């Protein structure tokens, strides 16, 4: 059984058939342009079996067999199972590839939804999962596709980035996995591809849904493009050229935004992609149009689709407020995850929802005998430190790392009589920051130290606990001295300057040494 959608041409080897000079030149020019990026990388060709992808596959076979193309791509065909004949199409593509002696893999995709975007996402997901890190995915998009893409984005209200259309070479990142999308035919018209497919008598698949007009792209193709061509026969080339010029403009704007970001970013508070922070004072030194461009770039980091103009305007308004209201939240549902945009004092925060959930996880008090920590560190000759987890989840880990041997040398007393305690800061607990004139409660310290509301449950006090060897159960409270040394958040630490009696073994001037031997380690799994 076959499919009526398959053009009834026989499957024949095409390596020795005539080559279309224009299509070959477009491909080989792109190979030359991206030669450095292509060097040493495996190339895959996304082949639906349709006219465009099958013709590109055929040209690759011809140029490779004739020694003009330095590589032969491997074909990837995705069966979405959205069409009744999709299994026949997969078999047909595999048979054609076998006749050309080109490797071919058939992949199955589960589409979540029924629209074109859902099918496209499923297709890319399954191909990305199949190919390796840094591989290249070759795509058969052409100038007509580019023109349709630009028009689609124009009627959706896109900016320069969207109107620049598809890029001939783009790095696509999913978590830590990176691949390159390569489109060498964006300057080639569909008519040229159709003529060459007919010349080769390719048995391509003519998907009946391509021109039904039941989605925006096919509607533009069927109803709008022919009308525009009446006004200007060169409309496809002109739109493709405009997209290229807009792409150059976008690159310029992006470079400026990257430079502005370096000026405004709060480096010490960055935890991509969970938390990104801008300095509002620095932001306001920029002209208004560059503020908008920077916010567009800043918000859209880590996301495949850019934020809306409405969101950018709302964030800009938030940065311009002078009423010191720290409660306002702006919500953005990105493609990968959702975000909350907040302001605290003169900083703008873009916080992922997963990060905010993690920050609400309770912290538990932990106490360790210093002798035990020294023994634990001794098991690792290369790294004489120990790590104590404060809060951990699938994506985020917060640890305190210590050098217990160095601590023991500084304390100069029997380590069996010393404990290190790490406990959450209570709102009523009073501690004294080094350099301040008096102790303050946790509630006051939040404001003094400028700790944002969502980080206030993530402050811990590190204390040295001195144990009196003469202590008994009855006199335990009198024989223990708890000396707070450091206050820590996931991003910062503060020396606690206890004013101690002269006979205490820790002097006020020595407290800062503890920050050298006890420090934060905050990590994030970037696949989140």
Which residues are documented as binding site for ATP? Answer: 48-53
CA angle 331, 216, 4 (to 5 degrees): 130
- Would you state the structure tokens that stand for residue 470, as one six-digit string? 């003469």
Report the C-alpha gap between 110 and 91 in whole angstroms: 18
DSSP code at position 509 = G
Write down the number of H helices and E strands in the chain. 19, 20
Residue 21 preceded by cis peptide, ω within 30? no
Tell me the CA distances in angstroms from 13 to 16, 18, 24, 55, 101, one per residue in order: 8, 12, 18, 13, 9
Annotated binding site: 48-53
Q: Are 197 and 59 in contact (CB under 8 A)?
A: no
How far apart (Å, rounded) are the C-alpha atoms in residues 57 and 51? Answer: 10
Q: Are 388 and 400 in contact (CB under 8 A)?
A: yes
The number of angstroms, rounded, from the C-alpha of 2 to the middle of its chain's C-alpha atoms is: 43
Task: Say what angle helices 404-411 and 370-378 make with each other, to 10 degrees.
Answer: 140
- Three-state secondary-structure class, residue 505: coil
Of residues 174, 151, 170, 173, the one with CA closest to residue 162: 151
Q: How far apart are CA 329 and CA 336, in angstroms?
A: 19
Q: Are 5 and 93 in contact (CB under 8 A)?
A: no
How many angstroms separate the first and last alpha carbons of the chain? 45
**Ordered DSSP codes for 487-502:** EE-SS-EEEB-----T
Cβ 470 vs Cβ 479: under 8 Å: yes
Three-state secondary structure call for residue 79: strand
- List, in sequence order, every residue forming a beta bridge with 343; answer none if it has no partner: 348
Going by the DSSP 8-state scheme, the letter that residue 455 receives in this structure is G
Nearest CA to 48 out of 98, 119, 131 is that of 119
């Amino acid at each position: 059984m076959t499919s009526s959608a398959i053009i009834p041409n026989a499957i024949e080897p095409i390596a020795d058939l005539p080559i279309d000079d224009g299509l070959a030149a477009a491909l080989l020019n792109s190979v030359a342009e991206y030669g450095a990026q292509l060097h040493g990388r495996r190339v895959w060709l996304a082949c639906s079996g349709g006219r465009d992808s099958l013709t590109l596959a055929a040209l690759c076979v011809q140029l490779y067999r004739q020694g003009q193309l330095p590589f032969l791509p491997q074909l990837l065909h995705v069966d979405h199972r959205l069409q009744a004949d999709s299994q026949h199409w997969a078999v047909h593509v595999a048979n054609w590839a076998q006749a050309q002696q080109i490797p071919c893999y058939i992949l199955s995709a589960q589409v979540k939804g029924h629209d074109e975007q859902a099918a496209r996402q499923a297709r890319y997901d399954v191909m990305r999962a199949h190919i390796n890190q840094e591989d290249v995915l070759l795509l058969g998009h052409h100038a007509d596709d580019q023109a349709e893409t630009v028009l689609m984005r124009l009627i959706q209200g896109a900016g320069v980035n969207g109107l620049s259309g598809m890029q001939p070479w783009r790095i696509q990142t999913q978590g830590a996995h990176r691949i390159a999308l390569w489109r060498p035919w964006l300057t080639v018209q569909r008519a040229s591809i159709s003529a060459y497919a007919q010349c080769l008598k390719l048995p391509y698949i003519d998907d009946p849904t391509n021109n039904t007009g039941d989605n925006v792209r096919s509607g533009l193709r069927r109803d709008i493009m022919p009308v525009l061509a009446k006004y200007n026969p060169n409309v496809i080339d002109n739109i493709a050229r405009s997209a290229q010029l807009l792409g150059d403009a976008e690159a310029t704007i992006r470079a400026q935004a990257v430079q502005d970001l370096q000026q405004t970013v709060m480096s010490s508070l960055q935890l991509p992609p969970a938390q990104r922070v801008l300095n509002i004072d620095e932001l306001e030194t920029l002209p208004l149009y560059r503020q908008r461009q920077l916010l567009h770039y800043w918000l859209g980091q880590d996301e495949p689709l850019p934020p809306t103009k409405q969101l950018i305007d709302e964030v800009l308004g938030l940065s311009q407020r002078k009423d010191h209201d720290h409660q306002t939240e702006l919500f953005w549902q990105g493609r990968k995850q959702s975000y909350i945009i907040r302001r605290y004092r003169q900083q703008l925060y873009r916080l992922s929802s997963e990060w905010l959930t993690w920050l609400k996880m309770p912290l538990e008090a932990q106490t360790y005998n210093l002798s035990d920590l020294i023994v634990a560190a001794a098991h690792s000759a290369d790294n004489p430190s120990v790590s104590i987890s404060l809060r951990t989840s699938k994506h985020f880990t917060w640890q305190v790392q210590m050098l217990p041997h160095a601590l023991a040398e500084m304390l100069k007393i029997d380590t069996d009589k010393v404990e290190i305690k790490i406990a959450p800061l209570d709102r009523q607990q009073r501690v004294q920051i080094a350099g301040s004139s008096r102790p303050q409660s946790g509630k006051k310290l939040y404001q003094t130290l400028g700790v944002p509301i969502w980080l206030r449950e993530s402050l811990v006090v590190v204390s040295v606990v001195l144990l009196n060897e003469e202590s008994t159960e009855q006199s335990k409270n009198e024989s223990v001295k708890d000396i707070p040394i450091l206050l820590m958040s996931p991003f910062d630490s503060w020396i606690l300057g206890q004013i101690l009696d002269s006979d205490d073994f820790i002097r006020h001037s020595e407290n800062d040494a503890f920050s050298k031997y006890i420090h934060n380690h905050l990590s994030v799994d970037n696949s989140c």
